[in-house]
Amino acid sequence: MGKTKYIFATGGVASSLGKGILSSSLARLLLSRGYSVTIQKLDPYINIDPGTLNPYEHGECYVTEDGAETDLDLGHYERFTNEPTSQANNVTTGRVYQSVIEKERRGDYLGETVQVIPHITDELKRRILLIAKTHHYDFIITEIGGTVGDIEGLPFIEAIRQLRLELGKNALCIHLAYVPFLAAAGELKTKPAQHSVKMLLEQGIQPEIIVCRTEHKLTDSSRAKIALFCNVDKSCVMESLDARSIYEVPLLMQQEGLDVQVLKKFGIKYQQHPSDLKRWTEFVDRMYHPKHSVNIGLVGKYVELKDAYKSISEAFVHAGTVLNCKVNIKWIHSETITPKNVASLLDGLSGVLVAPGFGTRGVEGKITAINYVRTHNIPFLGICLGMQCGVIEFARNVLHLKDANSTEMVANPKHPVIDFMENQKNIDKKGGTMRLGAYPCTLKTDSLAYKIYKKKDISERHRHRYEFNNAYLPAFEKAGMVASGINSVSNLVEVMEIPKHPFFVGVQYHPEYKSTVVNPHPLFVAFVQATLSKEKHK
């Protein structure tokens, strides 16, 4: 197609309008026409990355193949596009300023006075264009976090203004704005959207397309008013209605003609590349018309904010849809679980997933829940800390090592079945004291894990500091919990399972990061299938 086309997605009026879903949906529409697409996120916060941010404040920290801790929107990008992202797909103010300051300290600027313009904006532009230097994409969609007018976002908007000037016809801007419905007046109000675009215009950017986030359908007069006052064609004013599922949004935006208008603006003959959304449409149809349903408990310590477990909940959607099954998640706070109430909290569930996390809070509740599901033959999936809690529970109640614990939980436990392993530093090329990103794993061919993956060698993404202590492995395997997956390079345990249990699997890695609409993760599919079998035998 020639030169890469750049699409910038900005937002106004309010945060959380759905720029990430809009960007992902546009990417899916362009992919359906045979184009190559990637998406990147510019985050104006000063943190280097979301790795140290509280999940209550920022939701899930998503991890890429190359070990970058990124914004959860990158998870949406991968789930919609089925294309892996990388460090280059997430740019933060913190990382940009850090880079500029390091250059200044090295003397790269030859004594110049370092300023927001041009030095910060130049670094932003360099990072926006960086992806195209390593891989050719027909389209690169860049989502700018926050809203137009935010103080911390001003350098990002200025960098985009400069880039649009430099790229000419190879760049355009889509602006997402809110059009509220005032019940007292009984009508939609376009002024917030108009003011949002006006603010963007004041900063030197004329959006080519305006997408209006609204709970009610846009009237013809509303579209005409927004088009007139915001200097865009009426056909480029589009509504983005609330949808039952985020996966319906690409279909709704196709009806609005979003991809057609984008291609027209770039002078591309869209008729020569017809859209094929058959598989996507079938997925949405199956999702909306399940034949079965199961109730699965998700035990975690951040359940008040569902976004803290976004990839897990979406992986359940993908797996359930494959099996024509609706997965109803019961969110259970691990701090509320005690030996006295665990039976009532887990009553009626066909399966339990114990979620990842850091720190001591809520761990004993997770261990109590795992003891219940293990002894009552309820399908169990433990992820990262969830797997480690499963190991501790088994050590305490089957091996009778009453003081079994993790060195993260207790400074010097008598039986450190989960420990910080010095030898992990030798293979940890990405994360310092953490294993971050993709690592290989070899599965035992006589294991449930092998049956699930249908192959011996797999690769999964990690985000953790502590490992299973191999000194205890012989005792575990003799008692019936086996290590069915091993990192062959470092001999670290990746998968633990109990063969005599209907479904008891704990994994040190995060399978949820790799689940997409096109490729639901096999571990989640197998787990939901096990819960379906449990449901049928109730």
| Catalytic residue list | 384, 510, 512
Give the pair of three-digit tokens for residue 456. Answer: 């011996």
**Number of DSSP helices (H) and strands (E) in the chain, helices first:** 18, 23
Is residue 44 classed as helix, strand or coil in its secondary structure? coil
Task: Identify residue 128 by its one-letter amino acid code.
Answer: I
H or E segment to which residue 345 belongs: helix 342-345
- Tokens representing residue 234 in the block: 């009426």
Contact 370, 393 (CB under 8 A): yes
Interior CA angle at 205 toward 122 and 222, to 5°?
A: 150
DSSP code of residue 431: B
Local structure of residue 13 (DSSP, 8 states): S
Query: Distance between CA atoms of 31 and 277, rounded to whole angstroms?
Result: 9
Q: 118: cis peptide before it, omega within 30°?
A: yes
How far is the C-alpha of 279 from the C-alpha of 291, rounded, in Å? 19
Of 264, 222, 267, nearest in space to 3 by CA: 267
CB 290 within 8 A of CB 320: yes
| Residue carrying the six token digits 């007292």 | 184
Residues 6+ apart with CB under 8 A from 480: 398, 498, 499, 500
Q: How long is the chain? A: 538
Beta-carbon neighbour count of residue 456 at 10 Å? 12
CA-closest candidate to residue 240, choices 263, 262, 218, 223? 218
Amino acid letter, residue 335: E
The C-alpha angle with vertex 88 and arms to 87 and 92, in degrees rounded to 5, equals 85
Report the 10 Å Cβ neighbour count for 177.
Answer: 29
Q: How far is CA 296 from CA 324, 335, 350, 499, in A?
A: 16, 18, 6, 21
User: What one-character DSSP code corresponds to residue 457?
Assistant: E
Q: Which residues contact 201 (CB under 8 A, 6 or more apart)?
A: 231
How many Å apart are CA 382 and CA 392, to the nearest integer? 12
